Structure formats: structure tokens, C-alpha cells
Chains A and B, each alone.
Chain A
């Protein structure tokens, strides 16, 4: 593995990496505390802007660790791609599962709203059960 750096350059690069990661982490934490109104009373940053900022900064940290500390930047292209490309699958996994989680939340809220509406419920007639689909009421109301 050749990084193309001399020993002294490599040493300096290692400590530069340390300060970079330290500063970036501190920026993240200060951003989180200021953005949520903990350091300055009454001052907040929009939560979605804050989240995007923190994700971008974290991805930069991950990029730096993989490229410099793990020397991926100095490996043969085919090795780097064979490791990095499969992680792209995670992009869709994150989107899909967050959407699914959001759907669960919406469904629960919908059922709660229906329950709170207190409009009544279907009396089940056990002696004369519904025999075919035509008899099922079009709108099912939830138990109040």
C-alpha cells in the first residue's frame, strides 16, 4: 500500500485528521444544542435544516475516515468500488423504511381520530350474521 506520502508527511496527515474530526464533531454538537434552543434561550433553527446539516457533516466525517484513515483513497479503483458501491443499496433502504414508519404513525392517528369521533359502532347481530358481501355497510365506524 503506497500513500505517496513520505513518513513525515504521513505523520502530519494523521494529526491533521485528528483536529479535523475533532472540530467537525464539536461543530455538530454546538449546532445540535444551539439549534434546539439549549444554549441561547428562545433561539432555534428549523429542525429539518438542522437534520440535513448534521447528516451532511456526519457523512463528511465518514468519508474522511474511510478515505484517509482506512487508506481507501489510495487503493486500486476496483477494490474501492467493490466495497463502496454495494452501500448505495442502503440509500433506498433508509427511504423505504422511514416512509413505512411514517405510514404506521399516520395509520394509528387515523384510527385514533375515528375512535375520538364517537359516532357509534356497528351492532353485531349474532343471530342473523351477515351472509354476503352486499350486506356489509360501506363505511365501517370504529368503536367509540
Chain B
């Protein structure tokens, strides 16, 4: 009898304490559903992944004596042949901001249980995301096909020593501006990263040492220059321009590629949610289209990451 009594008492105490307070079950102390909470924690972990990539970029950039200047590297614009530094990537940012705002509108219409409104703004969001991916495809195409950048070859070098460039015949021409970025061209080929020379001086296509330049095994033309910097150990010597930091291509393609992959997977999820919205699935749930809100969080996160990718790759 006595033990039974004690058990009763313990049970009663346990019940009293468990039922007390918001963390004892049956309540949501964070006033958010499980799905939404876990979306936030997933985004937190994803933020750390992106931070790891961007910190690697910063660390390698600090480790190099020079780094390609973004205003020079990113200056192509579709259908235009001139130089428009940062213009195209600004347009890409604009597209992503617009798609973020249409996402906000979709979530708002969802909260009002407005099926057509939510679907309409979701569709616009999908169009924005697809436009962004298309822009990124153009950017990658320009860098890979026209300018011959790969994961391990960075043709965007930057002048670090004062000197005088030599022309094709080996005569001294213009002075080098330290800190200016140049693009190494390829002999032959078709893009604007390729060089045929002029009619009077056709560019040779075989590797070798020529009066004003060297063509290396990879077909890149490395122009020669005379070092004129005071106090430089090689002052007076003829040297060839060097490639840019090897890691640049890998960092660019991996970071913008990882972001682009997020945009792509976001698009796939948005399409699935759009089909669900239009099928009337969320009408029955009567929770203010919470799935739209959750995918909205992911989509805004993609925009958020772009703020930082834009900062480190294009602005700094």
C-alpha cells in the first residue's frame, strides 16, 4: 500500500511539473510549425556552407600578390560588343530582387487564402528565377568559351611590376599601369579572348618564342615586357606576362555554380508548389498556404546569399 501511495505521488508531481510552462509539450513556444522551424535551421546550416566558400575566396585572395579586378573581368553584355563594367551583373541582381518581391506578394495572397493570387505571383517568381539562371548561363558562356577561363586556368592576370610592353616585333610600346588587369588571349580561335593578329602580321598558331611574345603549350599568347621598376631585382630584363591566380576560376565557378544550383533547385520546388496551389491542395489545409511561406523562406535565402556573392565577387 505504501509503495503504491509513493508512486501515485511521484506521478502526480511529474504531471504537475510537465504540464507547467510552454516547453512541456502540446504547445509551440516559438509560435512556428515544425516545418517552418526546420526550414530556418536548414537555412542556417546552408548559410555556413556558403560562408565556408566565401571565406575560402577571401583567404586565397589575401594570399595572392594580385587579384583580377572585377570591373575588368565582368564587363560583357549580351548583343553588345563594348565594355560595360558590372552592368550585366547589376541587371541580374535586379532580376533576383524582383523575384524576391513577387515571392513576398505570393505569400501575402496565400495568407488571405487567395488561390489565384498566390499562383499568379508564384508564376512571376518562377519567371524571375529562370531569367536569372539564363543570365548566369550567358556569364559562364562568355568566361568559358570566349575568354578561355577554366577551373585551373585563369587568363585574367594583373600587372604587379612597372615596365614597358613590347609589340609583335619586339619594339617597346606602351607603359604598364600597375594594378591593371589584362586578359591573355589565345592564338587563333573565334571569341574576343582570341587573337588572330592583323592582316600584315598574322598571329602564329604554333607554340614558341617570338620577338614580342611567347605562345605556350596551351596556345595562350604571353606578351613580353621590359621591367623598368626601380629597385626590382630583374630591372632591365625582358619577361612575359603571367597568368592570374590559379584558384580564381575554381572559386568563381564553384561559388556562383553552387548559388545557381540553389536557384535551380528553388525553381523545381516552386514549380511543384505552384502545381499544388493550382490543384487546390492548400485550400483544404486552411493554414494560410504555409507551404508557400516555407518555400518563400528558401527563395529569399537565395537572394540573401546573392547579396554576399555580389559583394565579394563583383564589388570588393
Interface string of B210-239 (1 = CB under 8 A from A): 000000000000000000000001000000
Residue of A nearest to B89 (CB): A29
Assess whether B98 is in contact with A18, with CB atoms less than 8 Å apart: yes
Assess whether B47 is in contact with A87, with CB atoms less than 8 Å apart: yes
B interface residue count range (under 10 / 10 to 19 / 20 to 34 / 35 or more) = 35 or more
Within the assembled complex, what's the spacing in Å between the Cα atoms of A87 and B301?
14
B2 at interface, CB cutoff 8 A: no
Q: Which of A18, A38, A97, A116 contacts B55 (CB 8 A)?
A: A97
With A70-B297, A109-B65: A98-B58 Cβ-Cβ less than 8 Å: yes
Within the assembled complex, what's the spacing in Å between the Cα atoms of A28 and B98?
17
A interface residue count range (under 10 / 10 to 19 / 20 to 34 / 35 or more) = 35 or more
Assess whether B32 is in contact with A76, with CB atoms less than 8 Å apart: yes
Within the assembled complex, what's the spacing in Å between the Cα atoms of A101 and B57?
10
Within the assembled complex, what's the spacing in Å between the Cα atoms of A116 and B234?
9
Q: Which of B56, B97, B108 contacts A18 (CB 8 A)?
A: B97
Q: Which of B44, B62, B90 contacts A25 (CB 8 A)?
A: B90
With A76-B30, A76-B32, A83-B44: A28-B315 Cβ-Cβ less than 8 Å: yes
Q: Which of A21, A29, A62 contacts B86 (CB 8 A)?
A: A29
Assess whether A75 is in contact with B30, with CB atoms less than 8 Å apart: yes
- Interfacial chain B residues near A18, Cβ < 8 Å: 97-98, 101
Assess whether B308 is in contact with A62, with CB atoms less than 8 Å apart: yes
Within the assembled complex, what's the spacing in Å between the Cα atoms of A10 and B108?
8
Q: Which of B61, B64, B304 contacts A62 (CB 8 A)?
A: B304
Assess whether A78 is in contact with B29, with CB atoms less than 8 Å apart: yes
Within the assembled complex, what's the spacing in Å between the Cα atoms of A102 and B150?
25
Interface-centre pick from B97, B98, B316 (highest chain A CB count, 10 A): B97
Assess whether A33 is in contact with B71, with CB atoms less than 8 Å apart: yes
Residue of A nearest to B65 (CB): A105
Q: Which of B85, B105, B301 contacts A33 (CB 8 A)?
A: B85
With A10-B108, A83-B41, A100-B59: A17-B101 Cβ-Cβ less than 8 Å: yes
B13 at interface, CB cutoff 8 A: no
- Interfacial chain B residues near A61, Cβ < 8 Å: 307
A120 at interface, CB cutoff 8 A: no
Assess whether B97 is in contact with A51, with CB atoms less than 8 Å apart: no
Assess whether B304 is in contact with A66, with CB atoms less than 8 Å apart: yes
A15 at interface, CB cutoff 8 A: yes
Assess whether B59 is in contact with A98, with CB atoms less than 8 Å apart: yes
Assess whether B300 is in contact with A11, with CB atoms less than 8 Å apart: no
Assess whether A55 is in contact with B104, with CB atoms less than 8 Å apart: no
Assess whether B62 is in contact with A105, with CB atoms less than 8 Å apart: yes
B303 at interface, CB cutoff 8 A: yes
Q: Which of B58, B108, B308, B310 contacts A11 (CB 8 A)?
A: B108
Assess whether A79 is in contact with B40, with CB atoms less than 8 Å apart: yes
B309 CB, nearest partner CB in chain A, Å: 10
With A10-B108, A69-B100, A69-B300: A58-B311 Cβ-Cβ less than 8 Å: yes
Q: Which of A11, A14, A76, A94 contacts B31 (CB 8 A)?
A: A76
Residue of A nearest to B87 (CB): A29
Within the assembled complex, what's the spacing in Å between the Cα atoms of A18 and B316?
24
**Which chain A residues numbered 95 to 114 have a C-beta less than 8 Å away from chain B?**
97-98, 100-102, 104-105, 108-109
With A65-B307, A79-B31: A105-B63 Cβ-Cβ less than 8 Å: yes
- Interfacial chain B residues near A83, Cβ < 8 Å: 40-41, 43-44
Within the assembled complex, what's the spacing in Å between the Cα atoms of A14 and B97?
11
A93 at interface, CB cutoff 8 A: yes
Query: Could you name 6 residue pairs across A and B whose Cβ atoms are closer than 8 Å?
Result: A17-B104, A18-B97, A51-B316, A66-B300, A75-B30, A104-B62
**Apart from A10-B108, A65-B100, A78-B30, what 5 extra A-B contacts exist at CB < 8 Å?**
A1-B32, A58-B307, A66-B304, A70-B301, A75-B31
